Amino acid sequence: MPPVSLPDDASLEQLRKQAKDLRDLARAGVPGALDLVAEYHPKGAHPVTLTGAQLVVARHNGFASWARLKQHLEMIERYRRSPDEIEQTSGAADEFLAFACLRFGGDDDPRGRLDIPLEQQWFTPLHAAAQTGDVEMTRLLLRLGADPSIRSEWGATPLESARQHGREEVAELLEP
């Protein structure tokens, strides 16, 4: 049975419940549960502990371990933006992110909020991470192959944006 993809709204609590249910079903000898354990647990089909069931759930969802699955969900939670839940911004960094994120509510159109023409307000996620000084996101984007040499519509590279806004730690990551 090939691994499945996590649903868009996956939660750690939901997956913990799945692991507990799998543990209970495998202990009761339910064939479907034992088949799943046999497929994803190194010891094959057997009544599993909660830790063993978590490993099966993680591998069934395409992760090497429960810790990797948990780390993935925490990363999604940290960087997830709900386009229909944009609140009023409270500072320059928040304002920048509001312009960087695609939204689907009544506040989509940033015209009139900045003196920069609309066609010059779009840039890459790496530009957003560089300008806000988000070191972790910069590292992630670089690992995923983001191009640090790309210039925004107004001509700045992510490195130039980082330096312009005093984000030296990010600038060091972006230096060739």
Compute the Cα dihedral for 3, 4, 9, 15 and give only its sign. Answer: negative
Instruction: Please report where in the chains the tokens 């159109």 appear, as a residue.
Output: 109
Please give the mean pLDDT across all residues of the chain. 79
Indicate left, alpha or beta for 29 from its phi (over 0: left) and psi (-120 to 50: alpha).
Answer: left
* Per-residue b or e along 8-37, where b marks 16 or more CB atoms closer than 10 Å to that residue's CB: eebeeeebbebbeebbebbeeeeeebbebb
Look at residue 104 and tell me if it is in a domain: yes
Residues of the chain above pLDDT 90, percent: 38
- Does the pLDDT value for residue 142 go beyond 70? yes
User: What number is the average pLDDT over the span 147-165?
Assistant: 79
Question: How many domains in the chain?
Answer: 2
pLDDT at 151: 74
pTM to 2 decimal places = 0.49
Shared domain check, 73 and 116: no
**Would the CA dihedral through 100, 133, 8, 88 be positive or negative?**
negative
Most confident of 14-18, 102-106, 135-139: 14-18
The whole-angstrom separation of Cα 48 and Cα 56 is 9
From 47, 79, 111, give the residue that closes a domain.
Answer: 79
Which stretch, 13-22, 75-84, 109-118, has highest mean pLDDT? 13-22
Residue 144's domain is classified under what CATH number?
A: 1.25.40.20
Q: Cβ(35)–Cβ(28) under 8 Å?
A: no
The contacts of residue 168 (CB under 8 Å, 6+ apart) are 162
- Beta carbons within 10 angstroms of residue 89's beta carbon: 14
Average pLDDT score over residue span 76-90: 64
Residue 87 is assigned to a structural domain of this protein: no
What the block records as the tokens of 149 is 């040499």
pLDDT digits (tens, 9 = 90+) for 57-71: 999 999 999 999 999
Q: Does one domain contain both 70 and 107?
A: no
